[in-house]
Structure 1
């Protein structure tokens, strides 16, 4: 039995992918244009991995990702991620992103300040664009200044980012809305900075 594998799984936004080595996640992927394209990308990224049924620890992560994309509040800071080959700067960025709760956002500049690199907002964006663990490391929760979406490297680009933020009922701006204070709309509080 091989310890390295990858699999697709269905979510509310389409087929996502996950790859593992034992009980450690080595990659994740948002939906592509087709399942065939998603599998091909996983195979290219991880040539020594085989398509397989996820082991129990990985299946648990898959179930949590499905729940998150279905609107449940899930955090993934406890998930074992293969960070060995991740540059130190990127690792710091991913650690900050992992701590952003569903429904909340930070800006690239705020992430840069939190890692002790004020002025490195552009580098933060580049690190998030190379995120090998999207959804698990929630790069979609990081926005450009003034509530602009910034980029998103997944298939569907910014539309996918906005879809994920919408599922999480995230505010993309600190500006007040007509519905502030009305918990029925899921926007009862302004984003925490």
Structure 2
């Protein structure tokens, strides 16, 4: 059987997300559904793109529930093919051990993953995470604050996601239906 790549989209407060999935699992998530994002996913995986209605239904439903505040744990199959060994080890540790409402520092994640890499390298791993949100790189913070975030429009998206999850307190004007500014 030839492996294939299928796309699905979900509208969220952060915009229309593009999710890519193989028969193995979710392989990428992009904060913008654009032709360039679709081409990039197809090129990186090297797989033929198919129209596979239904394949992404569980992932898209999970994302809708997450943004509604109803889903606390993503239990989706992950296809790690777009990650290298160290990145896979760090991201797997993140996915399996840092739960909704929790944060971890870059350095502590490096220690927990057993990779013995510096916090800055962990930051680079987070910046290269092909499956943000589902593999929750937004939960990784600096020892002295939020740290950076390359997803969506940047650190304000990270702040919004951490507020949704209750990791940081909401401001008086925060609203689950309002996009980050």
Q: Please give the range of the TM-score, normalised by the shorter of the 2 chains.
A: 0.7 to 0.9
- Residue number in structure 2 paired with 1:190: none
Instruction: Give the deviation of 1:45 after TM superposition.
Output: 2.8
Over the residues paired in the alignment, what is the CA RMSD in angstroms? 2.4
Structure 1's unaligned 5+ residue stretches are 173-193
Residue from 157, 162, 165 that aligns with 1:160: 157
Instruction: Give the deviation of 1:66 after TM superposition.
Output: 1.5
Q: Residue 103 of structure 2 contacts residue 167 of structure 2 at CA under 8 Å; is this kept in 1?
A: yes
* Pair 1:166–1:82, CA change in 2 (3 A): same
Structure 2 Cα separation of the partners of residues 49 and 41 of structure 1: 15
Residue 84 in structure 1 maps to residue 81 in structure 2: yes
- Residue number in structure 1 paired with 2:92: 95
Residue 40 in structure 1 maps to residue 36 in structure 2: yes
Instruction: Give the deviation of 1:49 after TM superposition.
Output: 5.0
* Pair 1:15–1:87, CA change in 2 (3 A): same
Structure 1 Cα separation of the partners of residues 109 and 14 of structure 2: 27
Instruction: Give the deviation of 1:53 after TM superposition.
Output: 5.2
Instruction: Give the deviation of 1:43 after TM superposition.
Output: 2.0
Residue 55 in structure 1 maps to residue 51 in structure 2: no
3-state SS of paired residue (2:133): coil
Structure 2 Cα separation of the partners of residues 136 and 114 of structure 1: 19
Task: With the length of structure 2 as denominator, give the TM-score of the two structures.
Answer: 0.79
Instruction: Give the deviation of 1:136 after TM superposition.
Output: 0.8
Structure 2 Cα separation of the partners of residues 41 and 12 of structure 1: 19
Structure 2's unaligned 5+ residue stretches are 170-181
Task: With the length of structure 1 as denominator, give the TM-score of the two structures.
Answer: 0.75
Instruction: Give the deviation of 1:113 after TM superposition.
Output: 1.0
Residue 27 in structure 1 maps to residue 65 in structure 2: no
- Residue number in structure 2 paired with 1:122: 120
- After TM superposition, where is structure 1 displaced by more than 6 Å over at least 4 residues in a row? none
Structure 2 Cα separation of the partners of residues 46 and 60 of structure 1: 21
Count of residue pairs the alignment pairs up: 164
* Pair 1:7–1:24, CA change in 2 (3 A): same
Structure 2 Cα separation of the partners of residues 104 and 22 of structure 1: 30
- Residue number in structure 2 paired with 1:14: 15
